[in-house]
């Protein structure tokens, strides 16, 4: 049985380019995981073995808090990014019951049309049940929301704004810092403190490798980060909850995670996650620069060899600095993301043909509801349903090289030429 696992992780000549779907676990995270697996005590127990486990769990919590510029008691470990997003959304709605809206007033949520299913699905369920009203903000051609649209959508009964930091399909980075400031200004004008509604939830799963996660700078009340996207283990994520925010628990039981998420914590997964998240922060500037160059190379070479290709989402721009002749780079897209369409070739056909040639790429979120549907994210940019069935997502990672990119482009060119001859 073990030989199967050894064989399954052998890379050979394969090139993995689906890091938005899942990242391989790093060597440092593996060491942290295997060493802490020896801690068999329940961290809630008061005996020596339980205390050993509790101290490592506390260390993991404090380490994650340091990366987010938060307090350790504001970090809650959960089982996945999906659970974290669900807890943030459903917990906020449940926590708002005693806010004083009145029995006839329905709470209001603002989100975007291109959020991950772990955000959209619980919101749609609440909406269908008549428990909330929802505004789904549109995105424009580059995949970003407009602050004016957000400002116009805010209401007295708005309790939650949920916007992803960076999109999992097209890599567009949303203006979350500006949204946080806008919400604070709106609350100030309406006589509310920064801790009052509406809360601001940021799904930072895709952004964690490459963007600043400082919750104070971003003015976040709630933030989701997933270990499996930062070269950590699967099965663990966190929810940051600002002190004083009222949300109700999603899992009831023994009251672990300070009552917000019952169930015995996985000390090993939490500690490995903390190590991976710290490593991601330590190398993010250098790695972002390296991947940005490879990303742009991939785009430029694809356009060169397949002129008909369409690349979706925003790309970095330059703007003039105030009172200076210097230009400043404005990051609008994750440095590792390319989402493109080769016309006439269905997504699954391109993915399978590339897989046969040794390249792993994807189409849309692995958590999307139906594999037969096109990407709703691509449709939100203005593409047709047919066009949304022909895009692929290429996401680079720490193992990606220049040679990998050039080989991928040639493989896509070969597939395109073979289709053109039919």
**H/E run at residue 327:** strand 327-330
* Domain residue extents for the chain: 27-278, 284-420
Tell how far CA 231 is from the center of its chain.
Answer: 13
Rounded to whole angstroms, the Cα distance separating 84 from 76 reads 9
Burial of 270 (0-12, 13-18, 19+ CB in 10 A): buried
Phi, psi of 173 (to 5 degrees): -95, 120
Tally DSSP H helices, then E strands, for the chain: 12, 14
- Is 284-420 the same fold as 27-278? no
The one catalytic residue among 211, 245, 340, 367: 367
Pairing state between β 222-226 and 310-311: unpaired
3-state secondary structure 205-257: CCCCCCCCCCHHHHCCCEEEEEHHHCCCCCCCEEEEECCCCCCCCCECCCCCH
Would the pTM of this model clear 0.75, i.e. be above it? yes
Rounded to whole angstroms, the Cα distance separating 223 from 210 reads 15
Quick one: tokens of 93?
């709605």
DSSP annotation of 258? G
CATH code linked to domain 27-278:
3.40.640.10
Q: How many degrees, rounded to 5, is the angle at CA 284 between CA 281 and CA 287?
A: 150
Helix (H, G, I), strand (E, B) or coil at 357: coil
DSSP annotation of 387? G
Peptide bond into 198 cis (omega under 30): yes
Per-position pLDDT tens, the chain of length 422: 344 444 444 456 899 999 999 999 999 999 999 999 999 998 998 999 999 999 999 999 999 999 999 999 999 999 999 999 999 999 999 988 766 555 568 999 999 999 999 999 999 999 999 999 999 999 998 999 999 999 999 999 999 999 999 999 999 999 999 999 999 999 999 999 888 999 999 999 999 999 999 999 999 999 999 999 999 999 999 999 999 999 999 888 888 889 899 898 999 999 999 999 999 999 999 999 999 999 999 999 999 999 999 999 988 765 545 555 555 567 899 999 999 999 999 999 999 999 999 999 999 766 554 556 789 999 999 999 999 999 999 999 999 999 999 999 999 999 999 887 66
**First CA to last CA across the chain, in angstroms?**
44
Q: How many degrees, rounded to 5, is the angle at CA 390 between CA 387 and CA 393?
A: 120
User: Would you call 205 a catalytic residue per the annotation?
Assistant: no
DSSP annotation of 321? P
Quick one: tokens of 395?
């996401």
Provide the pLDDT for residue 80: 97
Matching residue, tokens 């003039």: 320
- Closest residue by Cα to residue 223 from 277, 182, 262, 290: 277
Q: Give the CA diameter of the chain.
A: 72
Quick one: tokens of 306?
């397949």
Provide the pLDDT for residue 4: 41
CATH code linked to domain 284-420:
3.90.1150.10
pLDDT per residue as tens digits for the range 215-230: 999 999 999 999 999 9
pLDDT per residue as tens digits for the range 136-164: 999 998 999 999 999 999 999 999 999 99
Residue 27: other Cβ atoms inside 10 A: 10
String of DSSP letters for 307-368: TT-EE-S---EEEEPTTSS-EEEE--B-TTEEEEE-TTS-HHHHHHHHHHTTEE-BSS-TT-
**Chain mean pLDDT for the chain:** 91
Helix (H, G, I), strand (E, B) or coil at 398: coil
Provide the pLDDT for residue 8: 46
């Amino acid at each position: 049985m073990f030989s199967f696992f050894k064989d399954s992780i052998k890379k050979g000549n394969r090139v993995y380019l689906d890091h938005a779907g899942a990242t391989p676990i790093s060597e440092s995270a593996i060491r942290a995981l295997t060493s802490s697996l020896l801690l068999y005590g329940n961290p809630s127990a008061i005996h020596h073995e339980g205390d050993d486990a509790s101290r490592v769990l506390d260390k993991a919590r404090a380490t994650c808090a340091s990366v987010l510029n938060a307090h350790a008691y504001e970090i809650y470990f959960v089982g996945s990014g999906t659970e974290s997003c669900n807890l943030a959304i459903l917990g906020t709605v449940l926590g708002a019951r005693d806010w004083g809206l009145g029995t006839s007033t329905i709470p209001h949520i603002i989100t975007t049309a291109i959020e991950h299913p772990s955000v959209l699905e619980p919101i749609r369920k609440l909406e269908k049940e008549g428990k909330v009203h929802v505004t789904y903000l549109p995105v424009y051609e580059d995949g970003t929301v407009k602050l004016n649209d957000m400002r116009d959508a805010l209401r007295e009964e708005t309790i939650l704004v949920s916007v992803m930091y960076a999109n999992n399909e097209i890599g567009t980075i949303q203006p979350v810092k500006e949204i946080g400031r806008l919400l604070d200004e709106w609350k100030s004008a309406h006589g509310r403190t920064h801790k009052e509604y509406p809360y601001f939830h940021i799904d930072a799963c895709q952004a964690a490798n490459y963007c600043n996660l400082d919750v104070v700078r971003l003015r976040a009340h709630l933030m989701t980060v997933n270990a499996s996207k930062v070269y950590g283990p699967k099965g663990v994520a966190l929810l940051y909850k600002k002190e004083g925010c009222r949300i109700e628990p999603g899992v009831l039981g023994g009251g672990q995670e300070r009552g917000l998420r019952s169930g015995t914590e996985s000390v090993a997964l939490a500690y490995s996650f903390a190590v991976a998240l710290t490593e991601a922060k330590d190398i993010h500037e250098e790695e972002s620069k390296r991947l940005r160059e490879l990303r742009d190379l991939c785009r430029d070479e694809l356009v060169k060899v397949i002129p008909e290709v369409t690349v979706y989402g925003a790309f970095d721009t330059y703007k003039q600095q105030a009172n200076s002749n210097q230009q400043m780079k404005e990051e609008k897209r994750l440095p590792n993301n390319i989402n493109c369409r080769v016309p006439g070739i269905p997504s699954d056909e391109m993915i399978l043909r590339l897989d046969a040639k040794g390249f792993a790429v994807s189409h849309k979120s692995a958590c999307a509801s139906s594999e037969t549907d096109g990407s709703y994210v691509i449709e939100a940019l203005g593409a047709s349903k047919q066009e949304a069935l022909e895009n692929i997502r290429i996401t680079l990672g720490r193992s990606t090289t220049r040679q990998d990119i050039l080989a991928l482009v040639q493989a896509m060119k070969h597939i395109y030429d073979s289709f053109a001859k039919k």
